Chains A and B, each alone.
Chain A
Amino acid sequence: MTPRSEPAFEAPWHARVFAIAVAENEADRLSWPDWTARLATTLHDCGLSQSLDGGDDYFLAWLDTLESMLVEEGRIDHGEIELVEAELAKTHAFSVHEPRSVQHVIESN
């Protein structure tokens, strides 16, 4: 195991959601003790139903926590994320999943 060869983040979105939380903290809108307490609660709740492996599931907990804190504090509105998600899915490269591969399974059955 050579520490230098391991990427800090396994996926670009891990890095992005990490950076948003750090930026909020640096702007003094997010206290780190509050943040870790909330993240711990999310991790605990997620871990009740499955064993978290510290990868995608860890940063999903990070994302869930950040979203709920921002909504609670009124900085973003409830449902706003879903609206912008839909908007991005339409206008950006985030294409909606084509059902082609699913149909292929049905055909081969």
Chain B
Amino acid sequence: MESSENGPVSAHSHLPSDPELRVKALEEILVRKGLVEPAALDAIIDMYQNRVGPRNGARVVARAWSDPDFRNVLLADASDAISGMGYAGRQGEHITAVENTRDTHNIVVCTLCSCYPWPLLGIPPGWYKSDEYRARAVREPRKVLAEFGVTLPEEKAVRVWDSTAEMRYIVIPERPSSSMGLDEDALAELVTRDSMIGTGLPMEPQR
């Protein structure tokens, strides 16, 4: 009869606005003590919302695909190579690049929390932080990959890299064979976020 019968019930199943108020209170306390400035927090948020994201990583991968010298430097010392491109910062101090090859596919996880190469990929997606992915990526990587739509040949080895505060990983996916002749900008367009976590493959160029 009353169409709103389910309204209040479903509203109660959501989290209350409580965490929002708690964060506001925490910020207020730290501001009053002179420990943080709201403008500094705005700047951090703006950076991770608008300026840092998987496009950075895509440009690194595209360069590695087109410049063999850069690829060698990247595989030897990724932190050094990426800071040379201007991508440095928190959670980017120690990054290792792992390269997919004909024989090996790499996939990255953080089993303990959510360590991730922020300067290259931005803030991790929800699923990367979920209990399910963190537990299953190590236990049954092929099954997880299949759920992401990545089916690998039996003979291809899967290596799982567990990130920590000290070491984070970026996957250099295999360059699509049909991408010959494309320049770095066009190559970067093919590189998806998931392909740099290892849960996806790069896109094929549109012909």
A interface list, Cβ under 8 A from B: 1, 3-4, 6-13, 15-20, 22-27, 29, 32-33, 35-37, 39-40, 43-44, 47, 51-56, 58-60, 63, 66-67, 70, 75-76, 80-82, 84-85, 87-89, 92, 94, 97, 101-102, 104-105, 108
**Min distance, Cβ B168 to any Cβ of chain A, angstroms:** 11
Q: Given A13-B20, A51-B132, A89-B21, is A36 in contact with B112 using a C-beta cutoff of 8 Å? A: yes
* In the assembled complex, B178 has its CB within 8 A of some CB on chain A: no
A23-B41, A29-B35 known; 13 new pairs, CB 8 Å cut-off, are: A3-B53, A4-B55, A16-B27, A20-B41, A22-B44, A39-B113, A54-B129, A58-B130, A63-B19, A75-B33, A76-B26, A101-B8, A102-B8
Spell out B's residues near A (CB within 8 Å). Answer: 1-2, 4-5, 7-9, 11, 15-17, 19-30, 33, 35-36, 40-42, 44-45, 48-49, 53-55, 90-91, 112-115, 122-123, 125-133, 164-166, 192-194, 200
Partner of B165, one of A3, A36, A58, A92: A36
Smallest Cβ distance from A71 to chain B, in angstroms? 11
Q: Which of A1, A32, A75, A80 contacts B35 (CB 8 A)?
A: A75
Check B130–A54 contact: CB distance below 8 A. yes
Measured CA separation A77–B146 after assembly (Å): 49
Q: Specify which chain A residues have a CB less than 8 angstroms from the CB of B130 in the assembled complex.
A: 51-54, 58
With CB as the reference atom, state the residue of chain A lying closest to B123: A8
B123 near A88: Cβ-Cβ < 8 Å: no
**Cα(A75)–Cα(B34), bound, Å:** 11
**Could you name 27 residue pairs across A and B whose Cβ atoms are closer than 8 Å?**
A8-B53, A9-B48, A9-B49, A15-B45, A16-B23, A16-B45, A17-B26, A18-B45, A20-B23, A36-B112, A39-B114, A51-B131, A53-B126, A54-B127, A54-B130, A58-B114, A67-B22, A70-B30, A76-B29, A80-B29, A81-B26, A82-B25, A85-B24, A88-B25, A97-B16, A105-B9, A108-B2
Q: Is the CB of B90 within 8 A of A25?
A: yes
Docked Cα-Cα span, A47 to B113, in Å, equals 11
Q: Would you call B17 and A88 a contact (CB within 8 A)?
A: no
Q: Are B112's CB and A1's CB within 8 A?
A: no
Question: Whose C-beta in chain A lies nearest to the C-beta of B148?
Answer: A1
Contact of B115 among A6, A15, A36 (CB under 8 A): A36
B147 to chain A, nearest CB (A): 13
Q: How far is the CA of A1 from the CA of B120 in the complex (A)?
A: 18
Closest Cβ of chain A: how far from B111's Cβ, in Å?
A: 9
Say yes or no: A23-B44 contact (C-beta < 8 A), given A8-B49, A75-B33, A85-B21: yes
